[in-house]
C-alpha cells in the first residue's frame, strides 16, 4: 500500500522499540537480527516445550481435582475442569516463556496458588490497566506538550503513580538480568568450553556487530534489549492464541478437524513427538487456523502510526507531505469484503487459506490475494523480528495442548464475544471483542479442559 519503504518511519508511538531515528533503528535492527536465526529459534523450542508441558499438566490436574472434589457434578460436567478464562491462563504461560527466554528465569505466573504466593501474578493485569491509562494520552493532540514535560517533572509524577506490582516486576527483571550478565561473564572466563544455556539472552550476549566484529551489546544494551523482547513477544503471542481459541471453541466442527489433524499426524498417543520441524510445519490445517485466528484478532487492532519523512510520499495517487502521520487499520483491513470476494470476511473459515478448487472452490489466486492483504507481523524495515519464533511457539502450544487435552467453550459462556444489545459494531456474538489500547485488550473465551478421551 505504501510507496517507497524509506519514505516513512514509525512514529514514537511504536510498540516494540523506542528508536525513531531511521539510521539508528536500521543499525539496531541489524544487530538484533543476529539473535533470530534458525539456530536460536530451534534452541528456544526446548524451553517453550518445557513450559507448555507444565501448563498442560496444570490444566489436566484442574480437571481431575474438579472431578474428585465435587459430588454433585452433572453428567455433562464430569471430567471437565472448572471454566477457565483462557486469556488469563495463556497470558501466564506466555509471560513465563518470555522471562525464561529473555533472561533465564520464569516468572512462574502460571503455577497454581494465589497472588500472595507470587506478587508477579498480577503483572499481565497491571500492564493492561497501564495501557488503558496511557494509550489515550499517546493519542491525544497534547502529546507534543506531554513529551516536552516528560524530562521536566512529568516522568517523576508518572514514577510516583507506578503501582507496587510494576515496581516489583521492574526489580525482578533488573535483578535477573544482572545475575545473568554476571553468570555469562564468569562462565566465559572460567569455563569457556562449557555449553551455555542457549536462550535468547545467550544469543544477545554472543551477538557481534557485523561492521566491527566486536560484541554487539554493552551491559546497558543487554538490559534494554532483553526487557524489550519480553514486551514485544508476550502480549502479541497471547492475544493471537486467545483469538484462535475463541473462534475454535465457538465452532466445534473446525475444532474437531484441527484436533484430528494433530492427533493423526502424531498418532502414537504421546505429544512428545511434537517438536519444531517439518512434521509440525506440514500441518496444513493448523497453519490455516492460526492465520485465520490472527486475521480476525489483530494484536494491535488500530493503526500503527507512521511518519512521512522529508520529501513526502505518494500513497494510492495522493501526495502526503513530510510529518504527516499515515497508517492503515488492521481490524478493518482484514475484514475488507472486496478482498474476500463477499465470502463473509467476518467468519472464521480456515479453509479460505487452503487451495482446493475442486472441493471448497478456493483457488491459488484467491489465497494469493488474501496473503497480499495479510500482515500480522507488519512489513518493511520495522516488521517483526520474532515472527519465526512466534509461529513456532504458537504451533507447539496449540498442537501439544490439543493432542493431550479436549477443550470446549464453557456451556452458556459468552465471555469475550459480542452480542445483541452491545451497540453498533458489537452485535455479532461470534466475533471476539477487542479493546484498542495499542495492543488488543480482551477477555475470554471461558473454556474447559479434560484429558483427551480418545
Ligand atoms: C503472534 C505474535 C507476534 C505478532 C503478531 C507480532 C507483531 C509485530 C508487529 C506488528 C511489529 C511491528 C510493530 C510496530 O511497528 O510498532 C513487531 C515488531 C517486533 N517484534 Fe513482534 N510480534 C509477535 C511476536 C514477537 C516475538 C515472540 C518476538 C520476540 C521474542 C517479537 C519481537 C519483535 C521485535 C524485536 C520487533 C521490533 C522490530 C523492529 O523494530 O525493527 N515479536 N511485531
C-alpha cell at 297: 484478532
Ligand 1 atom nearest the C-alpha of 393 is: 27
Check residue 368 and give its pLDDT: 96
Burial string for 329-357 (b: 16+ CB within 10 Å, else e) reads ebbebbbeeebbeebebeebbbbbbeeee
User: How much distance in Å is there from the Cα of 240 to the middle of ligand 1?
Assistant: 12
Establish if 401 belongs to a structural domain: yes
Place of cell 483469538: 243
Q: Is 172 in the pocket of ligand 1 (CB under 6 A)?
A: no
pLDDT score of 341:
79
Residue 146 forms part of a structural domain: yes
Mean pLDDT of 391-420: 94
Q: How confident is the model at residue 15 (pLDDT cuts 50, 70, 90)?
A: very low
For the Cβ of 385 lying below 6 angstroms from any atom of ligand 1, the answer is yes
Residue 62 lies in a domain: yes
Give the residue whose CA is nearest to atom 19 of ligand 1: 384
> Residue 283 — pLDDT band, cuts 50, 70, 90?
very high
Taking CA atoms only, the protein residue closest to ligand 1 atom 31 is: 386
For residues 340 and 370, is the Cβ–Cβ distance under 8 A?
A: yes
Is any atom of ligand 1 closer than 6 Å to the C-beta of 242? no
Lowest mean pLDDT among 89-103, 109-123, 215-229: 109-123
Q: What percent of the chain has pLDDT over 90?
A: 53
CA distance to 252, 406, 439, per residue, from 247 (Å)? 9, 15, 19
Q: Are 351 and 343 in contact (CB under 8 A)?
A: no
CA of 377 to the centre of ligand 1 (A): 6
Q: Does residue 85 sit within a domain? A: yes
Full residue range of the structural domain in which residue 446 is found: 13-257+386-451
Q: Give phi and psi for 76, each to the nearest 5.
A: -65, -20
Residue 16 banded pLDDT, cuts 50, 70, 90: very low
Average pLDDT over residues 20-28: 85
Q: Determine which residue's CA is closest to atom 30 belonging to ligand 1.
A: 233
Mean pLDDT of 227-252: 94
What was the pLDDT predicted at 8?
58
| Domain presence at residue 344 | no
pLDDT of 319-330, one tens digit each? 999 999 898 899
The SS3 assignment for 398 reads helix
Query: β-strands 435-437, 84-85: how paired?
Result: unpaired
Tell whether ligand 1 has an atom less than 6 A from the beta carbon of residue 382.
Answer: yes
**Does any domain span residue 34?**
yes
19 versus 382: the higher-pLDDT residue is: 382
The count of structural domains within the chain is 1
Q: How far is the CA of 77 from the centre of ligand 1 (A)?
A: 40
Atom of ligand 1 nearest to the CA of 378: 10
Task: Supply the pLDDT for residue 116.
Answer: 64
Q: What is the mean pLDDT of residues 46-72?
A: 92
In this structure, of 153-162, 287-296, 318-327, the range with the lowest mean pLDDT score is 153-162
Q: Is residue 6 over pLDDT 60?
A: no
At CA 175, angle to CA 174 and CA 181, rounded to 5?
A: 90
CA distance 250 to 130: 30
Residue of 8, 232, 235 with the most ligand 1 atoms within 8 Å of its CB, for mutation: 232
Q: How far apart are CA 403 and CA 61, in angstroms?
A: 16
Does a structural domain hold residue 262? no
Best mutation site among 384, 391, 397 for ligand 1 pocket (most ligand atoms within 8 Å of CB): 384
Instruction: Of 412, 399, 404, give the one whose Cα is nearest residue 444.
Output: 412
Q: What residue's CA is closest to ligand 1, atom 21?
A: 384
At 395, is the pLDDT very low, low, confident or very high (cuts 50, 70, 90)? Answer: very high
**Is pLDDT at 300 greater than 70 in this prediction?**
yes
What is the number of other CB atoms lying within 10 angstroms of the CB of residue 443?
A: 18
Lowest mean pLDDT among 52-61, 351-360, 409-418: 409-418
Distance 234 CA to ligand 1 centre (A): 10
* pLDDT tens-digit series, residues 68-104: 887 777 777 888 999 999 999 999 999 999 999 998 8
Q: Is 306 in the pocket of ligand 1 (CB under 6 A)?
A: no
CB of 304 closer than 6 angstroms to any ligand 1 atom: yes
State if residue 240 touches ligand 1 by the CB under 6 angstroms criterion.
Answer: yes
pLDDT at 187 exceeding the cut of 60: yes
pLDDT tens digits along 361-381 = 999 999 999 999 999 999 888
Q: Looking at residue 2, what DSSP letter applies?
A: B
Mutation pick for ligand 1 pocket among 386, 392, 440 (CB with most ligand atoms within 8 Å): 386
Which of 249-258, 305-314, 432-441: highest mean pLDDT?
249-258
- Which residue has its alpha carbon closest to ligand 1 atom 3? 236
Is residue 233 lining ligand 1, measured as CB closer than 6 Å? yes
Is the C-beta atom of 378 inside 6 A of ligand 1?
A: yes
Are the C-beta atoms of residues 163 and 126 closer than 8 Å to each other? yes
39 within some domain: yes
Q: Using 50, 70 and 90 to split pLDDT, how confident is the model at 413?
A: very high
Q: Residue 66's domain is classified under what CATH number?
A: 1.10.630.10
- Mean pLDDT rounded to a whole number for the chain: 88
Amino acid at each position: 500500500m505504501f510507496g517507497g519503504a524509506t519514505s516513512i518511519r514509525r512514529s514514537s508511538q511504536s510498540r516494540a522499540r523506542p528508536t525513531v531515528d531511521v539510521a539508528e533503528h536500521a543499525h539496531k535492527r541489524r544487530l538484533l537480527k543476529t539473535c533470530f536465526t534458525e539456530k536460536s529459534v530451534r534452541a528456544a523450542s526446548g524451553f517453550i516445550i518445557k513450559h507448555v508441558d507444565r501448563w498442560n499438566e496444570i490444566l489436566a490436574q484442574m480437571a481431575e481435582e474438579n472431578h474428585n472434589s465435587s459430588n454433585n457434578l452433572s453428567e455433562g460436567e464430569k471430567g471437565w475442569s472448572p471454566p477457565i478464562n483462557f486469556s488469563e491462563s495463556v497470558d501466564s504461560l506466555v509471560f513465563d516463556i518470555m522471562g525464561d527466554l529473555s533472561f533465564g528465569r520464569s516468572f512462574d505466573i502460571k503455577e497454581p496458588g494465589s497472588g500472595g504466593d507470587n506478587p508477579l501474578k498480577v503483572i499481565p493485569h497491571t500492564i493492561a490497566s497501564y495501557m488503558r491509562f496511557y494509550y489515550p494520552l499517546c493519542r491525544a493532540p497534547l502529546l507534543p506538550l506531554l513529551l516536552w514535560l516528560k524530562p521536566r517533572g512529568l516522568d517523576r509524577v508518572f514514577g510516583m503513580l507506578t503501582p507496587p506490582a510494576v515496581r516489583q516486576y521492574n526489580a525482578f527483571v533488573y535483578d535477573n538480568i544482572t545475575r545473568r550478565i554476571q553468570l555469562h561473564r564468569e562462565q566465559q572466563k572460567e569455563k569457556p568450553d562449557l555449553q551455555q544455556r542457549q536462550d535468547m539472552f545467550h544469543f544477545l550476549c554472543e551477538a557481534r556487530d557485523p561492521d566491527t566484529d566486536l560484541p554487539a551489546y554493552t551491559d546497558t544494551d543487554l538490559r534494554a534489549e532483553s526487557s524489550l523482547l519480553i514486551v514485544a513477544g508476550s502480549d502479541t503471542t497471547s492475544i493471537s492464541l486467545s483469538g484462535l481459541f475463541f473462534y475454535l471453541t465457538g465452532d466445534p466442527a473446525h475444532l474437531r478437524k484441527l484436533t484430528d489433524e494433530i492427533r493423526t499426524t502424531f498418532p502414537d498417543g504421546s505429544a512428545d513427538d511434537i517438536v519444531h520441524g517439518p512434521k509440525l510445519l506440514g500441518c496444513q490445517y493448523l497453519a490455516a487456523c492460526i492465520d485465520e485466528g490472527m486475521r480476525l484478532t489483530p494484536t494491535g487492532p488500530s493503526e500503527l502510526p507512521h511518519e512521512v519523512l522529508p520529501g513526502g510520499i505518494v500513497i494510492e495517487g495522493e501526495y502526503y507531505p513530510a510529518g504527516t502521520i499515515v497508517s492503515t487499520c488492521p481490524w478493518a483491513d482484514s475484514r475488507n469484503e472486496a478482498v474476500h470476494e463477499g465470502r463473509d470476511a467476518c467468519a472464521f473459515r480456515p479453509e479460505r487459506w487452503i487451495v482446493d478448487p475442486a472441493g471448497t472452490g478456493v483457488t491459488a489466486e484467491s489465497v494469493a490475494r488474501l496473503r497480499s492483504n495479510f500482515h500480522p507481523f507488519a512489513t518493511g524495515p520495522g516488521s517483526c523480528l520474532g515472527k519465526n519464533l512466534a509461529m513456532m511457539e504458537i504451533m507447539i502450544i496449540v498442537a501439544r495442548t490439543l493432542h493431550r487435552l479436549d477443550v470446549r467453550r464453557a456451556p452458556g459462556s459468552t465471555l469475550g464475544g459480542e452480542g445483541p444489545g452491545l451497540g453498533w459494531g458489537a452485535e455479532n456474538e461470534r466475533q471476539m471483542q477487542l479493546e484498542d489500547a495499542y495492543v488488543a485488550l480482551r477477555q475470554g473465551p471461558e473454556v474447559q479442559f479434560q484429558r483427551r478421551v480418545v
